[in-house]
Amino acid sequence: LGLSGPPGAGKSTFIECFGKMLTERKHKVSVLAVDPSSSTSGGSLLGDKTRMTELSRDMNAYIRPSPTRGTLGGVTRTTNEAILLCEGGGYDVVLVETVGMCLGFPFNCVGQSEFAVADMVDMFILLLPPAGGDELQGIKRGIIEMADLVAINKADGDLVVAARRIQAEYISAMKLLRKRSKVWRPKV
């Protein structure tokens, strides 16, 4: 599964909860978390593992943070090979968390190339927060077209109404897009 979304959408938190649910059901889960590299120093924080503390201690889970090192597409140059290695190592679920993309102003957009992972995985999930502004104007059309599933995260408390509004907007928008598959209709 590939997972992308803007910074702060809750990708790492989602992966930890989903990963724990899978390991409790006797699955072996591998997480390939991709972090952006600095264009100045080339360094990367690689902090995703620290945000998945429970899953990182789970004996049926493996978390590998990797820097992009300037590679576009939201993944690293070797992500596809890493997926194959994890599958060969007995992990039956591989989650690939991309560097994430922005939803537009006032964020610094990383561009439409952040969905290269969609061609590497069986399902590509776009995770969105419910209150990020005018979602449909800000998000890049390409990533919406590549999504097999759009999940509105943080849809509780005061954000329930906003989450339902965003869900309705995306359901309408998805009807206008060309289908990638003859058998699967993207869900929101």
**Superfamily designation of domain 2-176:** P-loop containing nucleotide triphosphate hydrolases (3.40.50.300)
Tokens of 66: 């990797």
Residue ranges covered by each domain of the chain = 2-176
Q: How many other β-carbons are positioned within 10 Å of the β-carbon of residue 173? A: 16
pTM score: 0.80
Q: Which of 26-30, 93-97, 163-167, 181-185 has the lowest mean pLDDT?
A: 181-185
Token code pair at residue 130 = 């419910």
**Mean pLDDT across the chain:** 78
Mean pLDDT, range 70-89, rounded to an integer: 75
Residues 6+ apart with CB under 8 A from 164: 155
pLDDT of residue 132: 59
What is the model's pLDDT at position 114? 54
Within its chain, how far is the Cα of 179 from the centroid? 20
pLDDT digits (tens, 9 = 90+) for 80-94: 888 999 999 999 999
Instruction: Specify the pLDDT at position 146.
Output: 82
Task: Please give the full DSSP string across 35-90, using - where no structure is assigned.
Answer: EPPPTTT------HHHH-HHHHH-TTEEEEEEE-TT-SSSS-TTHHHHHHHHHHTT
At 10-28, the pLDDT tens digits run: 888 999 999 999 999 999 9
Query: In this predicted structure, what is the pLDDT of residue 89?
Result: 96
